[in-house]
A = this chain, B = another copy of it.
Amino acid sequence: MRSTACDQIAHDLYLMAKEKPMKPDSATEAPGLPDHLICFAAYSVSHAFNQVYRSLLDEIGLTYPQYLVMLLLWRGDGRTVKEIGQAMHLESNTLTPMLKRLEAIGLVERSRDTTDERVVRVKLTQAGAEKQKAAEHIPACVARATGLQPEDLTELVQTLGDLRARLTKA
Contacts and interface: CB of A to CB of B under 8 A. Distances in A.
Given A16-B71, A157-B37, A52 B170 contact: yes
A166 B153 contact: no
A62 B143 CA distance: 36
7 contacts: A15-B75, A19-B75, A34-B143, A35-B140, A39-B49, A41-B164, A145-B170
Given A16-B75, A68-B40, A164-B45, A89 B157 contact: no
A129 interface: no
A30 to B, nearest CB: 9
Contacts of A49: 39, 42-43, 167
Contacts of A144: 170
Given A39-B53, A42-B49, A88-B9, A163 B143 contact: no
Nearest to A3: B168
Contact of A170 (B39, B46, B147, B169): B147
Interface in A32-82: 32-53, 68, 71-72, 75
A168 to B, nearest CB: 5
A159 B166 CA distance: 19
